[in-house]
Structure 1
Amino acid sequence: MTPHAHDAAPRTAWAAPSGKPPLSSRLMRATWRGLPAAQHEVGWEPGLSVPAADGSPLRTDHYFPRTEGDFPTLLVRSPYGRGLPWSPMYGMLFAEQGFHVVLQSCRGTGGSGGRFDLWRNEAADGRAAVSWLRQQPWFTGTLGTVGPSYLGYVQWALALDPPPELKAMVVQVGLHDPYALFHADGALRLENALTVGAGMTYQHRGIVPFVRAVLRLQRSLRKIAAARPLRGAHVPALGEVPWLDDVMTHPDAGDPYWDGASLGEAAERLSVPTGLITGWHDALADQTFEQYARLRRAGCRTSLLVGPWTHTSALQQGWSEVFSESLAWLRAHLCDDPAGLRSAPVRVHLGGDDTWRDLDDWPPAPAMTTAWFPAANGDLTRDAARRVSGESAPLRTFRYDPADPTPSLGGPLLSRGGGSRDNKALEAREDVVTFTSAPLTGPVDVLGPVSARLRVSTDTGYADVFARLCDVDAQGRSLNVCDGLVPLRTAGQDLTEVTVPMSSTAHRFAAGHRIRLQISGGAHPRFARNPGTGEPPAEATGLTPVRITLHAGSALVLPGAGDVRGPSADG
């Protein structure tokens, strides 16, 4: 790491401004329940101008406890503005718990100068913000960071070369790899791209422009998703968003366009204690698990909380747990107050059982796996002998038509509508095949990464394969647990073996329930439809149907439970 200049000025007396946080923030704060009681009255110093790395003024608000004494500082940098919900959620809530909170709009957003350039300026501007902090009379030299989504990305950017003052981080439903946000090994995550386009373009302008943009996008989504080509189809709903076309039309992870975008390496050598929070249906859950593994390998103090949340519901229905977890981590490492820390480094919500489990690591060790094999009659069985004869025999063939693409339902989305949904109607479509176990005689716990090892052939050589794990209850409801999609590139009708990573889960299949493997050729518009022509999804103008055949020898691979301590104290 490069040395940092200690340019902090001698601390002088500071006269706290008399301003109160905005009324809208105070009213929103009053609606929240289940949060720790406020310890301090909150003051507000809005509209400060902090120089970015290029000298552009970055608009910054300062929240602080109206109490004599020294308090640590939290830096929260956002491209989504500094108003609702960020002002009450981060400015007020943390200030009333005894922190100075510096809430700053990223370059080119929320009144800040310069031009917003997705991911390219955050490391330099974060360091510039810390240099400014060193000059403030209330700054004690103890710094933490906190925030969700892109507010997590700016934390990883600062952690590439962490300043000596940085003592703790909390990354909530956080981003570190923009490529993986927009693409799955070349398949375009269309709904993510459009949602991010709306958020980045309008949210920093205020709640009314943002809500109008979201409504326009919802009304136009079907038309945009059906456009040929996809490039530029968002303009009637969102206006010109040049970077949106750029990210959609660069599907190759090795393209120089993505150079420097991923900040995964920050975790590989980090020593700053870092708390991680995600949800089982968070669109960025896999990125959180990746960073957790890197931090563990680096020997960095870390914790992981995984709840029954989507990307947005973690900050809504899950906010009391998310805030309490974040506050405990920051108090422990910035205030030398570990009283609120849990003893286990990992806490996960066990779906299907609605309890919390404390674990020593994620995934749990030992990493046991069980293979379930699809059969031609639609069964899913653990009996390997059922699949020995005719190792390459066809099990099921279905036709995927990009002119009538298999729709997406629930799952890990950035927008509303994600999470667990009943797949019964979806599974009635002719372009969806399922393989289902017999009713379970006892509960089956699945904890860890799920995958499908599939033997597949197509008649054109161009297709996607979407695999989903579902829990089928006694009433026949088929609730999605986790899933994944991979593009296929084969030589004509040649059989290929492919592994579909289906993310991770902690889920209990109850006695009497059935385990189901669902297979289709896509999930639209969550993923852009595969045109079947070999063209990149965002550039395609032609559509060609494809027949996809699943062969014997395929398997659903489920991880078993490791060292589970049982229900936590609050479970």
Structure 2
Amino acid sequence: MSTYDKNQKAEFVPMRDGVNLNTIVTLPEEGSPWPVILNRNPYPFMQADFLEQAKFWAGHGFAFVLQECRGRGQSEGEWIPFVHEIEDGLDTLNWVIEQSWSNDRIGTYGSSYSGILQWSMAEHLPPEVKTMFIAVAGIERYKQLYMNGMFRHDLFTAWAIWNAGYEPLLPQDTLYREALSVKPHIEMDQHLFGHTLPWYRDWVTEIDPDRPFWNTGFWADLKEVPCKTKIPVMIIEGWFDHNLNSSVLSYNKLPESVRSESCFLIGPWVHTEDVAGDLDYTNHELWVPKQHRAALQWFNHHLKGEPFENVDLKGKVQTYVIGEGRWKSWDGWIKNNSVARYELACTQGPIHGLTLEKPFAGTSVSYAYDPSNPVSTKGGAALMNYLSRAPDACRPASVYQDAPGTRTDVISFLSEELEAPLQISGPITTHLTVSSDAEDTSFTVCIMEQFADGTTCNIRDGITSLRFRNDRTSPYTPNEIVEIEIELWPILWTLRKGSILRVDISSSNFPAYHAHPNIAGSWALQEEMKIAKQTIYTGDIRSSWIEIPVQ
């Protein structure tokens, strides 16, 4: 044991297989025994931040237990992401219960990986655990790594590099760019570290959601954990966090009796639980940084028995409305009053139409998609490399976009100026009729608001491969005309009167997603790429449109 100060001590807590995990306990000044908050994480480079959080919670009368996951920091054992976490978490909870400073009222706490750790053991929690506080984390792993067969590079290639567990062979500031250039991509680990990362190789080759990898074992069990959860949960999310969709699924899977005692808070935040991008988000700090105000009320209630200061923290969904700068409370889940259908209408010029009236004549527009020159990512929720602070990292959230017509492989459709505000309330769905001369390829969509001054910001984006279109595995024959549906993540966003609704269709969004090589098969095993001719169809017979849920 080593002493940090009189109220903070480090211990090595033994697990059932004899491995000892570094565990730092921070105690309040007086009043023992105390309610306990447990955080487990695999990020030794964030230890200073976690210790500051420990002091915050101890200062409010909670014993705070901070543990480094197996094989990370000073903890013993081998680092294999997500393996051993259920057993290690439960062993740690049993150790906490035995301590003289614990009053047997425990809450679990943490974000991202730490949130997944909480979900993973939720079904097996001892009765002393009264609640969980889970931020920016989710339980649908395939849907986190992939969108319709397209791998999220900027998220999980970056995460793999940061958490490889090996010293790199190349300069640190070149690793990410180098990783993206390796072909076939499966060799990235050997190229960068001289070692294989079996877990990452599984991620980049298991592209089919129907494979046993996703439907047996840990990942299959994790998807169903919320259904078996018995204690209240506070879930924190951001409209621009990559775990948003997974967290929505988690919340809606909670039993009704548990959901009625839980809370779901969604702000205009990225993964750091803060704002980013080019827009202003008035009043987003209602719950103060890291939502500590909400967390404190939550733990005071569930671990100390104190009443809520804000009654909307129990049994409610609280959401920030972008464009209005206000919070809105819901019973159950976000609701809408109607659906606005905007038709895509191809015209002769480089800029095409977006109309509430269905175009009469059938038309189409084609473009060449070259995977060696993909469209660069500008904003969005499927990003993480910005946390590296690399100067060339993609900026997350809503950012200013290029003018329509900037690239010939990005087809823009623009509405007339809105005569009244348009209040988006939920997930936008894109329906496209398309074809390609490739044996497999991808199509992207980006929904944007063009303001009266001409500047434009992204609202939501999505992508699909043809092989995994429409949420199922489907064969594709070159030049076959097919219908594809891309459901975008939910959002509350009010477009201003006088703004223009803009829809961009393309075939790449790199490095948010891998650049599809236009060849069938596992993308991470491909070395070659081909240029593909892509066609979008609009009109009375082969139509393309978007559906917007509105208030």
Taking structure 2 as the reference length, the TM-score comes to 0.87
Q: What's the offset of the Cα at 1:376? A: 1.0
Code of the aligned partner of 1:233: M
- The 2-side partners of 1:218 and 1:454 are apart by 40
Displacement of 1:339 in angstroms is 2.7
| Distance across 2 between alignment mates of 1:53 and 1:550 | 58
Assess, with a 3 A threshold, how the Cα gap between structure 1 residues 78 and 18 changes in structure 2: closer, same or farther.
Answer: closer
1:190-339 to structure 2, matched below 5 A, reads 190-201=153-164, 216=171, 219-237=174-192, 240=195, 242=197, 243-258=199-214, 259=216, 260-262=218-220, 263-295=222-254, 297=256, 299-300=258-259, 301-314=261-274, 320=289, 322-339=291-308
**Which position in structure 1 is the counterpart of 2:368?**
399
**Paired position in structure 2 for 1:5:** none
Distance 2:171 2:432 in 1: 39
CA distance in 1, matches of 2:37, 2:405: 48
Aligned to 2:415: 437
Partner residue in 2 for 1:369? 339
Q: Gaps (5+ residues) in structure 1?
A: 1-16, 22-41, 562-571
Q: Structure 2: which amino acid aligns with 1:360?
A: D
- For the pair 1:352 / 2:310, whether they are aligned, the reply is no
2:55 match: 92
Residues 76-98 of structure 1, C-alpha deviations (whole Å, 9 max, x = no match): 11111285344235322212111
Q: Contact 2:229–2:255 (CA<8 Å) still a contact in 1?
A: no
Gaps of 5+ in 2: 277-283, 387-394, 468-475
d(CA) in 2 for partners of 1:289, 1:174: 10
Q: Measure, in 1, the Cα distance between the counterparts of 2:533 and 2:163.
A: 39
Instruction: Give % identity.
Output: 25
Paired letter, 1:499? E
How many Å apart are 1:311 and its aligned residue?
Answer: 0.9
Whether the 8 Å CA contact 2:161–2:175 is kept in 1: the answer is no
Two-structure CA RMSD over aligned residues (Å): 2.5
Q: 1:269 to 1:334 in 2, by over 3 A?
A: same
Provide the rounded CA distance (Å) in 2 between the counterparts of 1:369 and 1:239.
53
In structure 2, C-alpha distance between the alignment counterparts of 1:328 and 1:541, rounded to whole Å:
54
8 A contact 2:138–2:250 mirrored in 1: no
1:51/1:224 CA distance change after superposition, 3 Å: same
Q: Give the TM-score of the pair, scaled to structure 1.
A: 0.84
Kindly indicate whether the alpha-carbon contact (under 8 Å) linking 2:270 and 2:396 is maintained by their aligned counterparts in 1: yes
8 Å contact kept, 2:424–2:494? yes
Aligned residue among 463, 481, 489 for 2:441 = 463
> Does 1:536 pair with 2:522?
yes
C-alpha deviation, 1:427, in angstroms? 5.6
Mapping of 1:172-183 within 5 angstroms?
A: 172-183=135-146
Q: CA deviation at 1:361?
A: 3.3
The one-letter amino acid paired with 1:484 is G
For residues 73 and 423 of structure 2, what CA distance do their matches in structure 1 show? Answer: 46
Q: 1:220 deviation in Å?
A: 4.1
Task: Please tell me whether the aligned partners of residues 8 and 25 of structure 2 are also in contact (alpha carbons under 8 angstroms).
Answer: yes
State yes or no: 1:49 paired with 2:12.
yes
Deviation of residue 174 (structure 1)? 0.9
Distance 2:192 2:404 in 1: 28
- CA gap of 1:250–1:307, structure 2 versus 1, over 3 A, is same
Task: Please give the secondary structure, in 1, of the residue aligned with 2:297.
Answer: helix
Contact preservation (8 Å) 2:158, 2:176? no
Distance 2:225 2:201 in 1: 28
For 1:83 and 1:470, how far apart are their aligned partners in 2? 35
Give the counterpart of 2:356 among 352, 364, 382. Answer: 382
1:558 alignment partner, SS class: strand
Task: Tell me the CA shift for residue 418 of structure 1.
Answer: 0.9
**Deviation at residue 295 of structure 1 after TM alignment:** 1.7
Shift of 1:472: 0.6
Matches within 5 A, 1:2-41: 19-20=3-4
2:462–2:487 contact (8 Å) kept in structure 1: yes
Match of 2:82 among 97, 119, 130: 119
Q: AA paired with 1:245?
A: R
**Structure 1 residues 225 and 198, CA, compared in 2 at 3 Å: closer, same or farther?**
closer
**Residue 442 of structure 1 contacts residue 511 of structure 1 at CA under 8 Å; is this kept in 2?**
yes
Cα distance in 2 for partners of 1:256, 1:438 equals 48
The aligned amino acid for 1:467 is: V
Q: Which has the larger displacement, 257-266 or 499-508?
A: 257-266
Partner of 1:514: 500
Find the aligned partners of 1:302 and 1:547 in 2 and give their Cα distance. 49
Aligned counterparts of 1:433 and 1:137: Cα–Cα separation in 2: 65
